[in-house]
Amino acid sequence: MDLYQEEILEHYHNPQNSGRLNNPTHERCANNPTCGDKICTTIVVENNIIKDIKFEGEGCAISQASTSMVTDEIKGKSVEEVLQISRDDIIELLGIEIGIGRIKCALLGIETIQKALEFGKIKE
């Protein structure tokens, strides 16, 4: 099996940053009705930096592994850096060819995170 495929399966079976933060500053849920994937993210932003992030979700290996991998990748980055992450960045992070039918699965995590950062601020 390809090294990248093994990493995706590892993230799927043992997701990083799994769970829910108790006092998030940002929160958002989204789903992909085509595949049945669902992702909910809770994020703590302090001084414009991602201090912590967790996600809960269910769905295919691609959506769950992609979200696990991206949550690892963005801790410590600025909100602006995270908002700049593109479709191509996610495909590169995954390291495998993503078919047209699975691209929504691969992007669900980062899109949910970016929407949380843009629109999901929790009122004080």
Give the CATH number, domain containing residue 94.
Answer: 3.90.1010.10
**Which residue range is the domain that position 53 belongs to?**
3-119
Query: What is the Cα–Cα distance from 92 to 49, expressed in whole angstroms?
Result: 23
| pLDDT tens, residue by residue, 74-122 | 999 999 999 999 999 999 999 888 888 889 999 999 999 999 999 878 7
What is the model's pLDDT at position 91?
93
Number of compact structural domains in the chain: 1
Specify the pTM: 0.92
In a domain, 124, yes or no: no
| pLDDT tens, residue by residue, 18-50 | 999 999 999 999 999 888 999 999 999 999 999
Q: Are 20 and 54 in contact (CB under 8 A)?
A: yes
